[in-house]
Structure 1
Amino acid sequence: MKLGKVQQLKLVEKGKYLWATDGEKEVPIHGEMRGKDGEMRDVFLYRENNGQIAGMLEAPFIQVGEVAKLKVVAKSKIGYFVGINAPKDILLPFSEATERIAEGEKYLFTMYVDKSERLAVSMEIKDALKSNSPYKKGDRVTGTVYHVGKSGILVAVDDTYDGRIPKQEMKGIYHAGDTVEVRVANVLDDGKLTLSLRDFAHVQMLQDSDVLLGLMDEMGGKLPVGDKSDPEEIKRLTGLTKKAFKRAVGKLYKEGKAVPGPTETRRK
């Protein structure tokens, strides 16, 4: 019998109670779903507070080695508890809570068997993610943020595949648990995905030019950045890279909507 896994076991009725057996060991069945004596059923095994292994016929939200988005249901002195659709919630030790989390919110976790032979979950999911996604460069995908660091944003595409938004592509403020819609910018040799929050250049340029027009209107028709301005200042003021800024300004200039300059851009 494997703890934290769904496995085929035979049901055995003992008076009012239902048990499951693999032919050698027996475990009690808890939960609301019931079965009949002699049936072969999928059974998920977990350990109760008293240390006894028990089973349930309901499908869990996660199994050992998998990654799933789960809700944090409570906080205790030793960590948080996460719901997995079992009679007993599973512990997230403080040492495995790598991001700031809050009760009632959902985050990505992987489940494992700890040193005391009990089920636990961790936010260290990178090694549990796959790198054989079906996606190619240019595809639009959806994923969940699982870490925000100095090098970029780590994203689990489809909550399954390993992806990263590089630092230079970061736009806006994101936290672990956020859902993002991104574009596959590149598929690396090891199968991992490089992602972008920005759209294809011709589509993004339309969006960026609208952003600049809105900013100029808010600032009385003039932006205090131009062709020769520092890239960091352009980024701080507009949220755009210098390359994207110049591309959007060029579009507005061709349309007769703006006049570029070395250190400022004016509404026309």
Structure 2
Amino acid sequence: MVNVGDYNNLKVLRTVDFGLFLDDGNEGILLPKRFAPAGAKIGDEINVFVYHDGEDRLIATTQKAKARVGDIAMLRAVSVTKQGAFLDWGLMKDIFVPKSKQLSGMRTGGDYIVKLYIDEKTGRVAATEKIETLLSNEVLTVKEMDEVDLLVYRKSEIGYVVIINNQHTGVLHFNEIYRDIQLGDRFSGYIKKIGPENTIDVVVGKPGYERVEGETDKVLRLLRESNGYLPYNDKSDPADIYSFFGMSKKTFKMTTGKLYKDRKIIFAQTGIKLIDD
């Protein structure tokens, strides 16, 4: 069984001048020569992405797709027709978004958040911009402190609505953001809190002291790169701390407090100093 619109490990069935045929249980799927690994031979197993070419034939590639079936991602429109739009998903053939699956019409050069699916009529991979009904928090597959994949979906009054693991929605609150955020950004985060009616709050990086464990190494590295002294302390402006360290003042104070407790630094009148090993 070959999963269309996804990665598959397939064995080389036979070789031809223009590429390799990979075993799909039938006549084989072509992996064009330009995408075939050098020296590949019959029996070798190759990880490939499988989709339909312009003539509706299954074809394999070693190119990396920007998204696969089931994923939600931001993709750019490269052309628009009366029937729909074509988005760049990193492969030779662009992915199609039917007019009926668009929210308010797409334009060439625009970036759109879509979900990839298999069209029931054609069996091809297609995309839809109508994803609201495909997301649900009714039955959660995550719990507090889980590491999750986050996609920034839209801005709200309290923060950014994010899509969690292509399934649920949550909120990244403004007071938890310490970096530039753009719609369509994808990054790892953690479930901070699950509230009434399965509302979800998320954070970028680990909450509380688990986050500090990762930040201590950064502060120590910056100290070493600055001859053991940095002119920042708990009286420094939060914006200055974020600009230099990439963390909130609260996290900075927690981090330096831990380093002080571990006898890695001392607090000077105007900053922090590294204790010699």
TM-score by length of 1: 0.57
- The alpha carbon displacement at 1:162 in A equals 0.6
Q: Distance in 1 between matches of 2:218 and 2:95?
A: 50
Tell me the distance in 2 between the aligned counterparts of 1:97 and 1:216: 49
Equivalent residue for 1:154? Answer: 161
User: 2:78 — aligned with what?
Assistant: 74
Q: Which runs of 5+ in 1 are unaligned?
A: 1-29, 34-59, 112-118
Is residue 248 from structure 1 mapped to residue 255 from structure 2 by the alignment?
Answer: yes
What is the rounded CA distance, in whole Å, between the counterparts of 2:95 and 2:212 in structure 1? 52
- Structure 1 residue 161: Cα displacement: 0.6
- 1:131 equivalent to 2:166? Answer no
| CA deviation map 1:5-46 (0-9, x unaligned) | xxxxxxxxxxxxxxxxxxxxxxxxx9569xxxxxxxxxxxxx
Query: Contact 2:190 / 2:202 at 8 angstroms: preserved in 1?
Result: yes
Q: Could you report, residue by residue, the CA deviation over 1:56-94 in whole angstroms, capped at 9, with x for unpaired residues?
A: xxxx958xxxx8447545233898434899996424869
Q: Does 1:108 align with 2:114?
A: yes
Q: Which amino acid aligns with 1:81?
A: F
In structure 2, the CA distance between the partners of 1:187 and 1:87, relative to structure 1 (3 Å rule), is closer
Say which one has the larger Rg. 1
For the 8 Å contact 1:131–1:191, the answer to whether it is kept is yes
Report the counterpart of residue 237 of structure 1 in structure 2. 244
* Whole-angstrom CA distance in 2 between matches of 1:109 and 1:189: 27
The RMSD of aligned alpha carbons is 4.1
- Please list every run of at least 4 consecutive aligned residues from structure 1 whose deviation after the TM superposition is greater than 6 angstroms: 83-87
Deviations 1:202-221 (A, max 9, x none): 33222111111122223332
Pick the aligned partner of 1:203 from 206, 210, 215.
Answer: 210
Contact 1:222 1:264 (C-alpha < 8 Å) held by counterparts: yes
Number of residue pairs matched? 197
| 1:242 to partner: Cα distance | 1.8
Hey, what does 1:8 align to over in structure 2? none
Change (3 A) 1:244 1:75: same
CA contact 1:107–1:177 (8 Å) conserved in 2? yes
Q: C-alpha separation between the residues in 2 aligned to 1:93 and 1:110?
A: 13
Residues 154-193 of structure 1 deviation map (CA, whole Å, 9 limit, x = unaligned): 3211212111211222243444444322111011213221
* Separation in structure 1 between the aligned mates of residue 175 and residue 198 of structure 2, nearest angstrom: 21
How far apart are the structure 2 equivalents of 1:227 and 1:96? Answer: 50
Whole-angstrom distance in 1 between the partners of 2:94 and 2:222: 51
Report the Cα distance in structure 2 between the residues aligned to 1:150 and 1:261, rounded to whole angstroms. 40
Percent identity over the alignment? Answer: 21
- Aligned letter for 2:224? D
Q: Distance in 1 between matches of 2:95 and 2:256?
A: 59
Name the counterpart of 2:187: 180
Deviation at 1:151, TM superposition (A): 4.5
The question of whether the paired residues in 2 share the 8 Å contact of 1:96 and 1:121 is answered with no
Q: Which amino acid aligns with 1:221?
A: G
Of 209, 221, 224, which residue of structure 1 is paired with 2:228?
221
